[in-house]
Amino acid sequence: MTAQGTFVTFGWTPQEPYDVADGVSLAFVTLGKTFEGDLKGSSTVTMIVSSSEHEDSRSYVAMERVSGSIGDREGTFVLQHNAVSDEGDDALTCTVVPGSGTGGLKGLRGQLRILIAPDGGHSYVFDHRLP
C-alpha cells in the first residue's frame, strides 16, 4: 500500500557540537513533525548531524517515533533515517524499524520517502504493508 501527504516541521533545536575536528562537527538536533494526508499524526525526531565547511556536503542519522493513524488503524512506530548530501547529490532512506509498531500499527513494515518542493514544502510517499 502507498500513503501520501504532507508534513511540517517545528521546534528545530540544534545543540552545540559535541565533537569538532578540522571544521567537521557532530551535533544533536531535535524537532517535531505534524503529518497530514493518508498518514495523520505527529512525531519527535532525534538526530545526529555531521556538517563541514562545504554547505552542500553533510549527513545525518535519526530515529523518529511517529504517533498517528493510517486509514482506520492507530498506533505508533519508529522510522530510522540515513541521509547523505555529497555536493548536492542527495541520498535518503527512512525505514520502519521492524517490530516497532504498536496498537493497530503492530507489524508495520515499509519505507518512507521525503520530497522537498522548490518552495521548501515537505511531502512524503510511504510504501508500507500491514498484517
* pLDDT at residue 56, rounded to an integer: 81
pLDDT tens digits for 38-53?
999 999 999 999 998 8
Please give the DSSP secondary-structure letter assigned to residue 108: -
Residues 94-130: pLDDT tens digits?
999 999 999 999 999 999 999 989 998 999 999 999 9
Q: Describe the chain by its helix, strand, coil percentages, rounded to 5.
A: 0, 75, 25
Q: Where are the domains of the chain?
A: 2-129
What per-residue confidence (pLDDT) applies to 55? 77
Express each pLDDT in 14-42 by its tens digit: 899 999 999 899 999 999 999 999 999 99
The amino acid that residue 22 corresponds to is D
Amino acid at site 26: L
**What's this model's pTM, rounded to 2 decimal places?**
0.93
What number does CATH give the domain 2-129?
A: 2.40.350.10
- Written as nine digits, the cell of 15 is 545543540
State the Cα–Cα distance between residues 79 and 8, nearest whole angstrom: 16
60 Cβ contact partners less than 8 Å away, ≥ 6 residues apart: 29, 47, 48, 49, 50, 81, 83
Is residue 88 scored above 80 in pLDDT? no
- In the chain the first and final C-alpha atoms are separated, in Å, by 11
pLDDT value for 52: 85
Backbone angles phi, psi at 55, to 5 degrees: -55, -35
Determine the pLDDT at residue 3. 97
